[in-house]
Amino acid sequence: KAGVTQTPRYLIKTRGQQVTLSCSPISGHRSVSWYQQTPGQGLQFLFEYFSETQRNKGNFPGRFSGRQFSNSRSEMNVSTLELGDSALYLCASSLGWDAYEQYFGPGTRLTVT
């Protein structure tokens, strides 16, 4: 089975721009969660989707949003980028939505200048 894939792998944007990141879960997995990883804050939960519905949301500003499609692929969007948004954005795929094993993608490294 193919693993979790994320595109693009690297992205450089300037302040004020917006960005869309994509995640394709493992085949058959219906849940996708997103995490932000930074050296200072570690791994922080952004949001979680199951069957196209957002089931949970972390403590991030409204500039961070996401969605999930009927094929379970998910996108997250960050608008009005700030320097502090520079991070590795990881998505994790799981079969179900209640404390299931999660498998991470390779991440998208976002740099905001």
Residue ranges that bind other proteins, judged by CB under 8 A: 31, 33, 35, 42-45, 48, 55-56, 58, 90, 92, 94, 96-107
**Are 56 and 48 contacting, i.e. CB atoms less than 8 angstroms apart?**
yes
Minimum CB distance to other proteins smaller for 30 or for 81: 30
Please tell me the distance from the alpha carbon of residue 91 to that of residue 102, in angstroms, as a whole number: 9
Nearest distance, CB of residue 100 and other proteins, angstroms: 6
Minimum CB distance to other proteins smaller for 20 or for 97: 97
Please tell me the distance from the alpha carbon of residue 70 to that of residue 44, in angstroms, as a whole number: 26
Nearest distance, CB of residue 49 and other proteins, angstroms: 10
Nearest distance, CB of residue 105 and other proteins, angstroms: 6
Nearest distance, CB of residue 48 and other proteins, angstroms: 6
Minimum CB distance to other proteins smaller for 66 or for 81: 66
Say how many C-beta atoms besides its own lie within 10 A of residue 60's C-beta: 16
Cα distances (angstroms) measured from residue 33 to each of 14, 26, 46, 65, 69: 26, 12, 7, 12, 13
